[in-house]
Structure 1
């Protein structure tokens, strides 16, 4: 009687093997999804903004981080940006009395684009460059 309780049938073994394989496949799919979420542009970048028109400061320099294609800045609360797989980038930043938005293109270690915005009511525009750290 107790021997029958410890004996595993072929069907039960097959079901356990199938379940184990399904779990392993699910874990592999999850790992691949996480790996694909990373962006080729992830990392720290130094940005230089140059004003060509308007009464804004002549230059702005700061660093941003790109994580999974999302551009972030540790101190600027209202900063939004995204880099597509192609390297096309769009971003905007808003601080009291100042706003700017821009777009451009990143390559593996550098980038360039244009921006426009305002500072204390004055309209401004120019270009930006980026260098990977």
Structure 2
């Protein structure tokens, strides 16, 4: 299941119209132009993880919603589209960084934390 964690790591696209620290201070979530349905392609470029996956995610009012309950997703998309996130399942986790564009596309990289060592890239496309 570690490979599934890595693939789903790219789904951590929680969007907020405020800086994460400011949003937490205000306890406010502001919808922005990154809300919607996204298709995410994950590619492993280094390590023994599965080669590629494609997943869907719904970003709604700044929160990432994954249809399964297999993963814990945390992260933010800044107002400029910068993505910083983490996905975890049990003791396995991966960090995700990158950028979403207002044109409906995005990309970035991911790296596992501890345990199995993998890294790769991700591409996103808005679906709705």
Structure 2 gaps, min length 5: 1-28
Which residues of 2 match residues 16-95 of structure 1 at below 5 A? 37-75=30-68, 76-95=70-89
Contact 1:65–1:73 at 8 Å: present in 2 too? Answer: yes
Once the two structures are superposed, residues 23-71 of structure 1 have per-residue CA deviations (whole angstroms, 9 ceiling, x without a partner) of xxxxxxxxxxxxx922111001011110000011111221111123333
Contact 1:72–1:80 at 8 Å: present in 2 too? Answer: no
Runs of 4+ in 1 over 2 A off after TM superposition: 68-72
- Residues 1:123 and 2:91 aligned together: no
Partner of 2:8: none
Contact 1:56–1:118 at 8 Å: present in 2 too? Answer: no
Structure 1 gaps, min length 5: 1-35
Paired residue for 2:96, among 90, 93, 102? Answer: 102
Contact 1:116–1:125 at 8 Å: present in 2 too? Answer: yes
Q: Which is richer in helix?
A: 1
Aligned residues: 97
Relative contact order, CA 8 A, sep 6+: which one is greater?
2
Distance in 1 (CA, whole Å) between partners of 2:60 and 2:77 is 10
Contact 1:50–1:58 at 8 Å: present in 2 too? Answer: yes
Distance in 2 (CA, whole Å) between partners of 1:59 and 1:97 is 22
Residue 77 of structure 1: how far off its partner (Å): 3.9
Cα RMSD after superposing both structures: 2.0
Normalised by the length of structure 2, the TM-score is: 0.67
DSSP 3-state at the match of 2:50: coil
Normalised by the length of structure 1, the TM-score is: 0.65
